[in-house]
Structure formats: C-alpha cells, structure tokens
C-alpha cells in the first residue's frame, strides 16, 4: 500500500517492471506508419527476422523481470508489515515486564504484611483481644486482604502468561520476517539476472540495429493499438472521471519523463505499480502495491465501462499495470531504460480493467471523459 516507507527494510535498488512493446507519445493511438526503408550500406546488419527474434527475446526477459519485480514488491510489503508487528510486540513485552515488576513488588509487600500479622489461629486472637468487635472488624479486613492477595497472584500469573505469548508471537514474526527478506533477495537476483541478460543482448547490437529494433517495438505497439481501435471499442467507452480519478490522473501524468526503477514508488523514479498505487494514494485512496494484487483485490469492470483513473492490467500473469487517462490512452512506467510515458491502451495484451474508487459515482462534467490531468 505503499507510501515510500522502507524503515526497517533495506532500501530498494534500481531496475524493472515490464512491457516490451512501447508506443511513442503522439503516435501511440494512430495507425502504424510504414516501416522505414533500410538505408544503403545496411546490408551487413542483421536481417529483420533476426531482429524480430531479438525483440521477442527481450520481451520475454523483461516480462520475467516484471514478474520477479512483483514478487519483490510483495515480499517488501510483507516485510514492512512484519517489522511493524515485531515492533508492536516488543513494546507489549516492555510494558508487560514493567507491569510484572510492579505486581511482584505488591505481592512481596502483601506477603510481608501477612507475616507481620503473626501465625496465631483466629481463636487465640479472639481470646487475646480486649474488644471482640475490634477482632471481628480485623478479621473482616484480613479476609479482604486474602481476597486481594489472591486476585493479585491471579493477575501476576496472567501477566506472566501474556509475556510468554508475546515472546512466542515475536519469535514467529521474526521467522516470517527473515523468510520475507530471503524471498526479497531471491526476487532481486531474478530481476538482476533478467535485466543483465537483456542489456547484454541489446549492447551486442550495432547502433543501426538498435535503432531498427526500436522501430520494430514501435511498429508492434502501433499494430496492436490499431487492431484495438479498429474493433470499435473506443466508441463504446464513455465513462467520466470521478473527482478522485481526476486527481489520480493528474498525479500520474505529472510524473511523465521520470525514469523507471523496479521497486520504486517515487518521487523521482517508479515501477509500473509504484506509479499507479502512489497516484491513487495522492487522490486519497490506498490500493494494493503490486499489479497482481491490484488485479486480485480491486473491483473488475468491463473494458467498455472504463473511465479515466481506472487501471488496465496487462498480460495473462498480470505483470504490468497502467492508468487509463481517456481517448484510448494510458500513462505507465514501461520497463528498465524507459521513462514514464503515454501510450495506447491497446498497445499490449489487456487482461482486464480494475477500478480503485469502486464506490464513487462519476461526476457530470461533460469534459471529464478526456484526459483528466
């Protein structure tokens, strides 16, 4: 639910979320432009089919990194909660120890008072007493004292039992915390491995090949967007943004140009779900931190019913998320080496749409259907 809190947990390092097909701003929603004709002297470059294979390989690597990023973010969120629980239990243990000390002092004082009263039987005290009424009053106080002592011992026992339970709970939470840290470390290794392989693959290309690869990425995104638009879906989408939705869109679009970094929640860098969760937090609504949890826990709606501020979940494994901003466009944090940008909503395979402000009614502003930022 994230808010930049990384207190007892190690700070997140730099790297990824996931999508490989990126649409260039301004062209993401139009029909794809023709593929540039290879220039003279490019005959020594890799054939287009080989570069397409490279593009697909990069897509596979970055998506694997995206899945690992979700694992990392989920483990990070759990570790934060477990750290908080350990801290709260530690506070309870300290308070319990102080209470136990005071109870022991009271119990000791009560025992000393009883000892000073002597061990004579009640009959002897009655015979020795000059005033029987004083004896009876004193006997009543003794009975009250016995009851109080019994209650004190009971409270002492309960406090000791509470302390033992707190200690057991703290031990269990520490074990979970350690397991969470190991899960984070394993996810981090996965991410770094996939990113390193992708960077190695790209760096092996000549400059001209890298440029052609970028064109292939744009072409794939434009082709997918055109197919999505040609279905007529945009004619059916007419939802208006709520006030919260407008605030979320305004926040997300204000981050355009900031670098992608896996595990990041701003304010300088973001991963895909870090951007969407922080945007909605700025609008006053906390949502799950990861794209997979956003898909699992937020209300699902039909694509034709979406409105600006809704979140589009991509790919079958829910490994990427973007925010719909109207007019068939999204804002998202794509992948390593890219920045927060605007793209076509249909430029990647859509799994579904979720709505963070599920209980809110759309306002009646006729312009709210467009970019609410």
Alpha helices in the chain (DSSP H): 48-116, 122-128, 132-203, 207-230, 233-236, 243-254, 272-282, 291-297
pLDDT, position 6: 36
Task: Write down the pLDDT at residue 33.
Answer: 42
pLDDT, mean over the chain: 75
Instruction: Kindly indicate the confidence band of residue 346, based on its pLDDT and cuts at 50, 70 and 90.
Output: very high
Nearest alpha-carbon partner for 321 in 372, 363, 278, 361: 278
pLDDT band with cut points at 50, 70 and 90 for residue 356? very high
How far apart (Å, rounded) are the C-alpha atoms in residues 289 and 78? 11
Identify the band that residue 301 occupies on the pLDDT scale cut at 50, 70 and 90: very high
Global model pTM greater than 0.85: no
Instruction: Dig out the tokens for 251 from the structure.
Output: 């926040």
Q: Identify the pLDDT of residue 329.
A: 95
Instruction: With a cut of 50, say whether residue 348 has pLDDT above it.
Output: yes
Summarize the confidence of residues 124-135 as an average pLDDT.
Answer: 53
pLDDT in tens, 192-209: 887 888 878 877 788 888
Output phi, psi for 14, to 5 deg.
-90, 135
User: Which pLDDT does position 115 carry in this prediction?
Assistant: 56
| Residues 320, 325, 330, 335, CA torsion sign | negative
Is the pLDDT at 43 greater than 60? The verdict is: no
Query: Looking at the predicted structure, is the pLDDT value of residue 133 above 80?
Result: no
333 has a pLDDT exceeding 90: yes
CA distances from 90 to 158, 174, 227 (A): 18, 11, 58
pLDDT band at 40 (very low <50, low <70, confident <90, very high): very low
251 torsion bin: left (phi>0), alpha (psi -120 to 50), beta (else): alpha
- Please give the residue that has the higher pLDDT: either 84 or 328: 328
Residue 323 bridge partners (DSSP): 311, 331
State the residue for tokens 């898909």. 295
Residue 284, pLDDT > 60, answer yes
Beta bridge partners of residue 314, listed in sequence order:
320, 350
Which residue's structure tokens are 């009424």? 133
Distance in angstroms (rounded) separating the CA atoms of residues 70 and 40: 44
Q: What is the pLDDT of residues 91-102, one digit of tens each?
A: 778 877 777 777
- The tokens describing 158, both together, are 């309960």
More confident residue, 48 or 201: 201
CA distance 127 to 42: 123
Q: Would you state the pLDDT for residue 145?
A: 52
Between strands 350-355 and 311-314, the pairing is: antiparallel
From CA 268, how far away is CA 265, in angstroms rounded? 8
- The percent of residues above 90 in pLDDT, for the chain, comes to 32
Return the SS3 of 339.
Answer: strand
What value does the mean pLDDT take over residues 67-82?
78
Count of CB atoms within 10 A of residue 148's CB? 12
pLDDT tens string 155-205: 778 887 777 777 777 788 777 777 777 877 887 787 888 788 887 887 778
Sign of CA dihedral 328, 324, 249, 7: negative
Handedness of CA 60, 63, 67, 68 (dihedral sign): positive
Q: Regarding predicted confidence, which is higher, 47 or 77?
A: 77
């Amino acid at each position: 639910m994230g808010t930049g809190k990384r207190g007892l947990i190690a700070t997140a390092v730099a790297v990824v979320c996931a999508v490989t097909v990126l649409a260039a701003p301004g062209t993401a929603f139009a029909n794809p432009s023709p593929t540039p004709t290879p220039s003279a002297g490019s005959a020594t470059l890799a054939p287009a089919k080989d570069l397409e294979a490279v593009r697909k390989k990069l897509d596979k690597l970055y998506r694997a990194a995206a899945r690992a990023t979700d694992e990392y973010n989920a483990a990070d969120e759990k570790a934060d909660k477990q750290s908080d629980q350990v801290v709260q239990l530690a506070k309870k243990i300290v308070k319990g120890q102080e209470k136990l000390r005071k109870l022991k002092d009271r119990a000791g004082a009560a025992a000393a008072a009883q000892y000073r009263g002597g061990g004579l039987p009640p009959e002897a005290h009655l015979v020795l007493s000059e005033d029987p009424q004083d004896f009876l009053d004193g006997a009543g106080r003794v009975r009250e004292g016995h009851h109080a002592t019994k209650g004190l011992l009971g409270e002492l026992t309960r406090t000791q039992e509470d302390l033992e339970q707190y200690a057991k709970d703290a031990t269990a939470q520490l074990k979970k915390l350690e397991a969470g840290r190991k899960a984070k470390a394993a996810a981090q290794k996965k991410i770094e491995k996939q990113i390193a392989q992708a960077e190695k693959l790209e760096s092996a290309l000549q400059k001209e090949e890298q440029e052609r690869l970028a064109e292939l990425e744009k072409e794939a995104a434009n082709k997918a967007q055109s197919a999505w638009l040609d279905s007529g879906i945009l004619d059916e989408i007419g939802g208006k943004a709520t006030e919260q939705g407008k605030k979320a869109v305004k926040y997300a679009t204000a981050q355009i140009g900031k670098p992608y970094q896996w595990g990041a929640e701003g304010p300088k860098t973001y991963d895909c779900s870090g951007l969407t969760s922080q945007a909605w937090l700025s609008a006053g609504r906390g949502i799950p931190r990861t794209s997979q949890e956003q898909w699992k826990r937020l209300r699902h709606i039909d694509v034709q019913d979406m409105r600006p501020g809704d979140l589009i979940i991509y790919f079958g494994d829910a490994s990427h998320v973007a925010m719909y901003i109207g007019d068939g466009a999204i804002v998202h944090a794509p992948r390593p080496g890219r920045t927060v940008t605007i793209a076509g909503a249909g430029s990647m395979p859509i799994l579904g749409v979720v709505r963070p402000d599920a209980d809110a009614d759309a306002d009646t502003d006729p312009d709210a259907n467009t970019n609410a930022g």
